[in-house]
Structure 1
Amino acid sequence: MIKNNRRILLTSLVGALAAGHGMVAAADEAKYVDETHKAIAENRETGKNWPAHGFDYQEQRFSPLDEITTKNVKDLKLEWSYNLGSSRGVESTPIVIDGVMYVTAPWSIVHAVDARTGEKLWTYDPEVPRSYGEKGCCDVGNRGVAVSNGLVYFGAFDGRLIALDAKTGERVWETDTIENRDKPYTITGAPRVFKDKVIIGNGGAEYGVRGYITAYDADTGEEAWRWYTVPGNPDEPFENDAMKMAAETWDPSGKYWEAGGGGTVWDSMVFDPELDLMYIGTGNGSPWSHLHRSPGGGDNLFLASIVALDPDTGEYVWHYQETPGDNWDYTSTQDIILADLPINDETRKVLLHAPKNGFFYVVDRETGEFISAENFVDVNWATGYDESGRPMVTAEARSEDEAFDAIPGPYGAHNWHSMSFSPDTQLAYIPAQNIPASMQKMPEWDYNEEEPGVFMSGTGWNTGMFLNPTEPGSKPFGRLVAWDPVEQQEAWRYEHISPWNGGTLTTAGNLVFQGTADARLMAFNASNGDKLWDTMVGTGIVAAPVTYEVDGRQFVSIAAGWGGVYGLVQRGSDRTIPGTVYTYSLDGKAEPPEYSQHQQTNLVSGVDYNPELAEEGLGLYIANCVACHGVPGVDRGGAIPNLGYSNAKVISDLESFVLNGVLANRGMPDFSERLSEEDVDKIRAFIMGTADTIRASQ
């Protein structure tokens, strides 16, 4: 193992020089900062590298580079492209340090690339078993790596945390982050390195897990601390006072611990070196239905919350819960941004947050005090927030009997697609959206019970909800929203053609960059939203761009590849290409890679089936297939084909794909122990019957 000798001691001279104020104790003034901290702080001024997930510890995704400006951005051309060799969603924010780019592809494969030329330096495949893919709700993407002190850290989809040698790609250490292998935990998020620890959370709330976040020694991989986000069984000792406090907000009659409770930390983590605090965003409840997991009500801490922790010990410091008693999959795991803003004639240290529930929050990051919240899209689950920071929830949103057309729906008004903040314009740039969905509490629900007609219950989902029992009335949209966090109002917006657009980047050139679902990379004037440049790429974009400088030249890079939970079944572009990194400069001369046209062929026909089995097939399809394949012939098919447009040979031989593992190497689950040949006949009847019905209506 590498010895832990990478710390340097930076001693402040303020006390010694200010003789009139006396000598300050060295222990008070000395700041132990590792090399990564120093490098990130220095790079915040130069912008030459993109050394951390959100560019800096504040995760503002703002670069001080200004070679590319509003005046010349129209001249951007392709410098190079790099084939990631993947067919699923590419969610990675590349890390660029000293001319080397580290970027991840689906199935947690890491690529090191020459940032000048796009030449491959090395790759590392953690060899995640493809059968593990069904344990993830939302594709097999990975949002990136952390790089510190010569090591590259990443989380494998199957729950391992791995450290690689940054120069060679050889594995240095590996540790299993999953405490209970009987539970379907996953990792899709990027780890962070705060001080001498590498920190990672996990996913799996839909499947019934208990959320936690863990810190490991950055040199050895040894666990340093673990903090749970929700309480465990109250008949057993609580891990700490925070869990004891949280348990008072849950009703034990619901035996919430059997379904884990949820609260997974699957994305956002941020660090304030000055305050020596880290902040995390926590996820939704397991199950989604509030009254199934906690029949007596209660806020259910620490679901859907921002929590401040001590990065050295993992001890709880404060929290602010954005969605008490979450009932709509309103995670608070979306990226958190730190900023210093003028609030009521006083500069406040705040954090900015735009989670799934549609409200933009400004919270004091020293104390957790609520400052303000306003909706950045239309919402109908709450009418606003009171002075204490609690939402005023509508009665319809809590209905136990009626379907509720949730706005926003479970996909969120803002999902994991990164927002950014410009200290120059004082605006935040949000990939906002609405994907319609109606929800209704199931009258009865039991943990891990498979039930035909209950969304993905055959694959382990535990929502306690019927999804879309009635057709939702809201309309889908995707837009880029520039938001003023001081005035709490929209400054400008740009309407996209589809939801599920990529994250944003803002620069000192007064630019905002964003990739789109319809396969474009775009640049806008950060002040007024004027579109200044766009270029077509070979696939829809869901990740966020980065910018960096090599040899005095500014580059803009985006890792493109359509997918994610919405992108599995829908698409905004008919272009198809393997996951690809595109890099642009003002004098680029590269030719773009060739792409294919997505072939949405004719509706499947010519397959014998028994129409009387179609109704039972519908229930089985909803319980086992719909999240990945969509509604046959209705949805367009995204990263995974829509079966209504399949080749007739595929539907005729459906048993081979469902029961015999023909596509197991691509992540197709083996249902041989869950479905029978008779069940497959019913599913086939539903697919063909739906195709015939649509064909007749056309």
Structure 2
Amino acid sequence: MAPVVLGLAGCGLLGGKGTEQQAKAGDNWTNPGGDAGKTRNSTLEDITPANVSRLGVAWMAELHTNRGLEGTPVVADGVLYASGVAGRVYAYDAATGKELWTFEPNVDMQVNRTVCCDQVNRGVAMADGKIFVSALDAVMYALDAKTGKIVWQVDTKEVKDRGINSTGAPEVAGDVVVIGNGGAEYDVRGYVSAYDIRTGALKWRFHTVPRDPKLGAQDHPDLEAAVKTWDPNSRWDISGGGTPWDALNYDPETGLLLVGTGNGGPYPRSIRSPKGGDNLYLSSIVALDPKTGRVKWHYQETPGDEWDFPATAPMILTHMQVDGQDRGVVLHAPKNGFLYVLDRKTGQLLRANALVRMNWANGVDMKTGRPNLTPQFSDLGTGPKIIFPGTPGARNWFPPSYDPKTGLYIASILDMGNLIFITPEPKDYRRKALNTGSALIFTNALAETMPTLPPPVAAAVKALPHYKDAIANPAKAEIRAIDPLTGKTVWAVPTAGWQDRGGVMTTASGLTFHGSLNGQLLVRDSRNGTLLKTIETGTPIIAAPMTYKVKGVQYVAVMAAWGGGGFPYVPRYSAAYNRENAGRLLVFRLDGKAALPPPPARPALEIAPPPPPQAPGVTQATIGMGRGLFYSNCAICHSNQHRSITPDLRRMSAPTHQIFNEIVMKGLYLPKGMPRWDDLFSQAQADAIHAFLIDEQARTRADEQAKVKAGVAIDAPRAAIMSNF
């Protein structure tokens, strides 16, 4: 689809190379993190605790999607740019909401097969008169900021036969624009690529994981040391993971590009690197020279990662008084449960404080910087484990904020674990498919799913030392204000449930803004967390808000739509459960009067339709095979929950059943985002999945008929099992 061009005002901040890097966020908000340090803290003070009660809607834009929106808009010279599903870009007059242009990339939707968490995009970069965005299929575009027309485009995929995708925001670092990739759970070797901002020419590429040493010298000089931390007989066929899908920070103060790298793949080190090792550069912060791509320092947060603990959560660069000295620091709280304070110039560890329950480690050795691993949890090869924190992470992609006035790190925090165990099937390489080698069950679903586990696994789980705690205290989610040097909580407010996590923004006037899964924009006093203002939006908000000023008026903007983390279903506890997931860009100002119509109500849920009869020859063994294939490949998108933003396959119509094979094996619905699977499934396997879904639909229909007869709501929740992911 060609861009729609409607004109644009001048863009002074876009004129020079890298000029989007402002020391502080004021009238303009020039990258998704707001300022050069990505503190998501604004110097604006017009909206205050005293007048925030007057905050209302200035304007809104319907984005015509029911998929997740995670990006934070940017603003320069009165123009707001926002990224949407799969890498769409929108430009608006930031004061009036007049659409100036839109851009929709021509995305190869087969990529959906290797995107773990919805078709999200986390933002754009801008410099040199251009807007940079990376589309879901890892094609990066440089768009003319005035017109939205393509200046250049480049396919950032190093190889075409792997599950490479892109959901993060590009980062401008001097003369280059840098982007990472996703797909660690699939068959991807992580890397970051740097392109000339003027021409799109590749300047350098750094892999986060070495290649098979049997191929000879490494393809980057700094991987020669890394390969020594891997078993020479590692699963190089699967590629190792380490994908840096977010957390790119250019530091103009040191001239370094800081990259947060992804988890290992497969998860169990006993499969991935059987003889052990730290497996550099998995789950690390790596400081690169943006001119050459050479490593200047690295800090590995989770050596030998086995628990899906990437270091891809957003970083914050700031200055703090540490032990009596002014230090330029990195604040980073990844999935693994620690909040780290590192020296920005050298990578020296200054602090590491635990934020949540954790049992994979019991602290960090401040002399070596290494976590103190707990032996009974450090090897998944010895049996099932209940790990705290779980793979959703103590922190994840949800952006935090650092307020220099209060010295507080304010962020969504999740205290939850999961059961993880190696699945019994052979661990053959599966092209463009999940290769985690493990099954996961979150602790909030553990009690309900224990009866479904094989008896030997269930018995082993019940004997685990953390089983009782996991059942009694499965999860707690909060917005929390933390002293980064001590890890102590200054204030905390609970959120509705484990999926109710989102980004945060603070202002110099003492306000903290964040959204909720209940469809609200919430404003708090940054000093104590007191709720000062609630605006009902009707649509869940998980993206981080931002703020800017045009012609003397301060505005607050946020993207609203559920997806990404917790994808693909809005949980039943959300107040937005019975409304459509209407993707919107919402903008507020003092005394804003624009109407904000509620999203349409979802139609009443009806009893599942009758399924067709099973095909001749279908047995319980066929259905069992289909169940395993479904949970190993399909359930990550088709959770078969009520109110999902993807189809509930227990409710297929008769015509859909008739074309099931064309959808799954021939790509009939590829334009709708449903990939084809004929390269991975045999026809017998596709038929087995269909047999399982027919059986599920019959069970669902009978269950719902019984509920109606008993006067019980048919959408009562049911347990969710995440298998092989």
Asked if these proteins are the same fold (TM beyond 0.5), I'd say yes
Cα deviation, residue 650, structure 1: 4.5
Say if 1:461 and 1:475 are closer, same or farther in 2 by CA, change over 3 A. same
Aligned-partner SS, 2:83: strand
Q: Identify the residue that residue 27 of structure 1 maps to in structure 2.
A: none
| Kept after mapping to 2: 8 A contact 1:617/1:685 | no
The one-letter amino acid of 1:331's match is P
Q: Identify the residue that residue 243 of structure 1 maps to in structure 2.
A: 223
Q: Identify the residue that residue 4 of structure 1 maps to in structure 2.
A: none
Say if 1:204 and 1:406 are closer, same or farther in 2 by CA, change over 3 A. same
| Kept after mapping to 1: 8 A contact 2:17/2:175 | no
Q: Following the alignment from structure 2 to structure 1, what is the Cα–Cα distance between the partners of residues 335 and 125? A: 25
Cα deviation, residue 636, structure 1: 3.7
Q: Following the alignment from structure 1 to structure 2, what is the Cα–Cα distance between the partners of residues 495 and 599? A: 31
The one-letter amino acid of 1:101's match is L
Establish whether residue 607 from structure 1 lines up as the match of residue 588 from structure 2: no
Q: Following the alignment from structure 1 to structure 2, what is the Cα–Cα distance between the partners of residues 281 and 436? A: 22
Q: 1:195-206 counterparts in 2 under 5 A?
A: 195-206=174-185
Q: Following the alignment from structure 1 to structure 2, what is the Cα–Cα distance between the partners of residues 496 and 588? A: 27
Q: Identify the residue that residue 562 of structure 1 maps to in structure 2.
A: 562
Say if 1:344 and 1:118 are closer, same or farther in 2 by CA, change over 3 A. same
Cα deviation, residue 601, structure 1: 1.5
The one-letter amino acid of 2:647's match is P
Task: Render the CA deviation track for 1:388-436: whole Å, top value 9, x for unaligned.
Answer: 2211222332242432222222121111111110001101111122565
| Kept after mapping to 1: 8 A contact 2:434/2:633 | no
| Kept after mapping to 1: 8 A contact 2:89/2:103 | yes
Say if 1:38 and 1:132 are closer, same or farther in 2 by CA, change over 3 A. closer
Equivalent residue in structure 2 for 1:259, among 229, 238, 247: 238
Aligned-partner SS, 1:292: helix
Q: Identify the residue that residue 677 of structure 2 maps to in structure 1.
A: 671
| Kept after mapping to 1: 8 A contact 2:109/2:137 | no
| Kept after mapping to 2: 8 A contact 1:342/1:486 | no
Q: Identify the residue that residue 490 of structure 1 maps to in structure 2.
A: 489
Task: Render the CA deviation track for 1:105-144: whole Å, top value 9, x for unaligned.
Answer: 1121111111111111111111102222222122111111
Task: Render the CA deviation track for 1:216-236: whole Å, top value 9, x for unaligned.
Answer: 111111111111111112121
Establish whether residue 215 from structure 1 lines up as the match of residue 224 from structure 2: no
Aligned-partner SS, 2:479: strand
Q: Following the alignment from structure 1 to structure 2, what is the Cα–Cα distance between the partners of residues 34 and 660? A: 47
Deviates more, 1:615-624 or 1:52-61: 615-624
Task: Render the CA deviation track for 1:458-502: whole Å, top value 9, x for unaligned.
Answer: x60010112335687352343211111122211111111123322
Q: Following the alignment from structure 1 to structure 2, what is the Cα–Cα distance between the partners of residues 640 and 198? A: 34
Equivalent residue in structure 1 for 2:412, among 410, 413, 431: 431
Q: Identify the residue that residue 628 of structure 1 maps to in structure 2.
A: 637
Aligned-partner SS, 1:566: coil
Q: Identify the residue that residue 404 of structure 1 maps to in structure 2.
A: 385
| Kept after mapping to 2: 8 A contact 1:77/1:586 | yes
Q: Identify the residue that residue 30 of structure 1 maps to in structure 2.
A: none
Count of residue pairs brought into register by the alignment: 652
Say if 1:660 and 1:436 are closer, same or farther in 2 by CA, change over 3 A. farther
Q: Identify the residue that residue 166 of structure 1 maps to in structure 2.
A: 145
Aligned-partner SS, 1:688: helix
Say if 1:211 and 1:660 are closer, same or farther in 2 by CA, change over 3 A. closer
User: Which 4+ residue blocks in structure 1 deviate beyond 6 angstroms?
Assistant: none
Equivalent residue in structure 2 for 1:642, among 645, 648, 653: 648
Cα deviation, residue 558, structure 1: 0.3
Q: Following the alignment from structure 2 to structure 1, what is the Cα–Cα distance between the partners of residues 19 and 649? A: 52
Equivalent residue in structure 2 for 1:331, among 307, 310, 313: 310
The one-letter amino acid of 1:496's match is T
Q: Following the alignment from structure 2 to structure 1, what is the Cα–Cα distance between the partners of residues 644 and 403? A: 33
Deviates more, 1:88-97 or 1:575-584: 575-584
Q: Identify the residue that residue 506 of structure 2 maps to in structure 1.
A: 506
Task: Render the CA deviation track for 1:520-565: whole Å, top value 9, x for unaligned.
Answer: 1111111101111111213212211110001100000001111114
Q: Could you tell me the TM-score, scaled by structure 1's length?
A: 0.89
Q: Identify the residue that residue 598 of structure 1 maps to in structure 2.
A: 602
Q: Following the alignment from structure 2 to structure 1, what is the Cα–Cα distance between the partners of residues 633 and 604? A: 23
Aligned-partner SS, 1:41: coil
Q: Following the alignment from structure 1 to structure 2, what is the Cα–Cα distance between the partners of residues 260 and 399? A: 19
Q: Identify the residue that residue 463 of structure 1 maps to in structure 2.
A: 436
Task: Render the CA deviation track for 1:175-213: whole Å, top value 9, x for unaligned.
Answer: 121111111211110001111111111111111111111
Cα deviation, residue 347, structure 1: 1.8
Equivalent residue in structure 1 for 2:590, among 586, 589, 593: 586
Say if 1:347 and 1:686 are closer, same or farther in 2 by CA, change over 3 A. farther
| Kept after mapping to 2: 8 A contact 1:264/1:284 | yes
Q: Identify the residue that residue 6 of structure 1 maps to in structure 2.
A: none
Task: Render the CA deviation track for 1:151-177: whole Å, top value 9, x for unaligned.
Answer: 011111111111010000111111121
| Kept after mapping to 1: 8 A contact 2:237/2:429 | no
| Kept after mapping to 2: 8 A contact 1:341/1:486 | no
Q: Following the alignment from structure 1 to structure 2, what is the Cα–Cα distance between the partners of residues 637 and 668? A: 18
The one-letter amino acid of 2:322's match is I
Equivalent residue in structure 2 for 1:356, among 298, 311, 335: 335
The one-letter amino acid of 1:80's match is W
Q: Following the alignment from structure 2 to structure 1, what is the Cα–Cα distance between the partners of residues 624 and 61? A: 46
| Kept after mapping to 2: 8 A contact 1:504/1:544 | yes
Aligned-partner SS, 2:275: coil
Aligned-partner SS, 1:85: coil
Q: Following the alignment from structure 1 to structure 2, what is the Cα–Cα distance between the partners of residues 205 and 311? A: 24
| Kept after mapping to 2: 8 A contact 1:232/1:257 | yes
Cα deviation, residue 651, structure 1: 5.4
Deviates more, 1:663-672 or 1:286-295: 663-672
Q: Following the alignment from structure 2 to structure 1, what is the Cα–Cα distance between the partners of residues 272 and 36? A: 36
| Kept after mapping to 2: 8 A contact 1:91/1:141 | yes
Cα deviation, residue 40, structure 1: 3.5
Cα deviation, residue 647, structure 1: 5.3
Q: Following the alignment from structure 1 to structure 2, what is the Cα–Cα distance between the partners of residues 689 and 182? A: 38
Aligned-partner SS, 1:682: helix
Q: Following the alignment from structure 1 to structure 2, what is the Cα–Cα distance between the partners of residues 114 and 466? A: 47
The one-letter amino acid of 1:214's match is S
Q: Following the alignment from structure 1 to structure 2, what is the Cα–Cα distance between the partners of residues 637 and 651? A: 20
Aligned-partner SS, 2:21: helix
Establish whether residue 90 from structure 1 lines up as the match of residue 39 from structure 2: no
Aligned-partner SS, 2:631: helix
The one-letter amino acid of 1:461's match is L
Task: Render the CA deviation track for 1:296-328: whole Å, top value 9, x for unaligned.
Answer: 011101100011111211110111100011001
The one-letter amino acid of 2:557's match is S
Q: Identify the residue that residue 688 of structure 1 maps to in structure 2.
A: 697
| Kept after mapping to 2: 8 A contact 1:157/1:188 | yes
Q: Identify the residue that residue 14 of structure 1 maps to in structure 2.
A: none
The runs of 5 or more residues in structure 1 that have no matched partner are 1-32, 451-458
Aligned-partner SS, 1:303: coil
The one-letter amino acid of 2:569's match is V
Q: Could you tell me the TM-score, scaled by structure 2's length?
A: 0.86
| Kept after mapping to 2: 8 A contact 1:600/1:636 | no
Aligned-partner SS, 1:40: coil
Say if 1:507 and 1:645 are closer, same or farther in 2 by CA, change over 3 A. farther
| Kept after mapping to 1: 8 A contact 2:612/2:654 | no
Q: Identify the residue that residue 576 of structure 1 maps to in structure 2.
A: 580
Cα deviation, residue 680, structure 1: 4.1
Q: Following the alignment from structure 1 to structure 2, what is the Cα–Cα distance between the partners of residues 486 and 435? A: 23
Q: Following the alignment from structure 1 to structure 2, what is the Cα–Cα distance between the partners of residues 240 and 127? A: 32
Aligned-partner SS, 1:576: coil
| Kept after mapping to 2: 8 A contact 1:268/1:281 | yes
The one-letter amino acid of 1:150's match is G
Q: Following the alignment from structure 1 to structure 2, what is the Cα–Cα distance between the partners of residues 112 and 350? A: 34
| Kept after mapping to 2: 8 A contact 1:543/1:558 | yes
Cα deviation, residue 94, structure 1: 0.5
Q: Identify the residue that residue 204 of structure 2 maps to in structure 1.
A: 225
Q: 1:168-207 counterparts in 2 under 5 A?
A: 168-207=147-186
Say if 1:295 and 1:344 are closer, same or farther in 2 by CA, change over 3 A. same
Percentage identity across paired residues of the two chains: 37
Aligned-partner SS, 1:367: coil
Aligned-partner SS, 1:252: coil
Aligned-partner SS, 2:694: helix
Establish whether residue 395 from structure 1 lines up as the match of residue 375 from structure 2: yes
Deviates more, 1:594-603 or 1:239-248: 594-603
Cα deviation, residue 660, structure 1: 5.2
Cα deviation, residue 449, structure 1: 4.0
Q: Identify the residue that residue 475 of structure 1 maps to in structure 2.
A: 474
| Kept after mapping to 1: 8 A contact 2:357/2:415 | no
Cα deviation, residue 262, structure 1: 1.1
